[in-house]
């Protein structure tokens, strides 16, 4: 993995790059306003993976007491397969441990085999299914959990 990668707290100045990656990554992307709200939120954590001062990926997550949720994670489609998603997910897990989170949850499209594989590699287990959770196209979400304690 490249030595010139660093993680940093997402700022509003990162919004255009995050929005671009979001729109290139998802068929039903978050709105610009939702992303901006998450960046500015006191409750959510938003981090960017930076390479040469450019956003190459991001993760948004939240913790409430002993539970956490991975809200959103994406890597620039042109840079997938380089371990960047792995690096972001490792950071989220480290933050969860630091915040004494016992269970970290997420939802993922049933058809997203690469994401599900990444999550399983990090110890997430499939917990259940939310029927017709996603739109554009309509698809079930697989609920996954990582038990940290």
**CA-to-CA dists, residue 47 to 60, 131, 138, 143, angstroms:** 7, 30, 29, 22
- Alpha carbon 35 to its chain centroid, in Å, reads 12
Radius of gyration in angstroms for the set of CA atoms belonging to the chain, rounded to a whole number = 15
Is residue 107 part of the annotated active site? The answer reads: yes
Where b means 16+ CB within 10 Å and e means fewer, 57-93 reads: bbbbbebeeeebbbbbbbbbeebeebebbebbbebbb
Which entry of 84, 107, 134, 139 is annotated as an active-site residue?
107
Helix (H, G, I), strand (E, B) or coil at 7: strand
Which entry of 17, 22, 58, 119 is annotated as an active-site residue?
119
Residues marked as catalytic: 107, 119
């Amino acid at each position: 993995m490249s030595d010139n990668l660093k993680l940093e707290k997402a700022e509003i100045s990162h919004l255009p790059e995050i929005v671009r990656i979001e729109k290139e990554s998802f068929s039903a992307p978050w709105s610009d306003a939702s992303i901006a709200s998450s960046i500015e939120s006191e409750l959510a954590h938003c981090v960017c993976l930076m390479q040469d001062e450019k956003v190459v990926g991001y993760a948004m997550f939240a913790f409430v007491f002993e539970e956490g949720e991975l809200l959103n994670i994406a890597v620039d489609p042109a840079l997938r397969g380089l371990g960047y998603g792995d690096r972001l997910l490792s950071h989220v897990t480290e933050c969860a441990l630091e915040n004494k989170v016992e269970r970290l949850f997420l939802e993922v499209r049933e058809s997203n085999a690469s994401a599900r594989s990444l999550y399983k590699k990090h110890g997430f287990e499939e917990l259940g299914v939310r029927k017709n959770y996603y739109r554009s196209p309509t698809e079930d979400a697989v609920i996954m959990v990582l038990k940290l304690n």
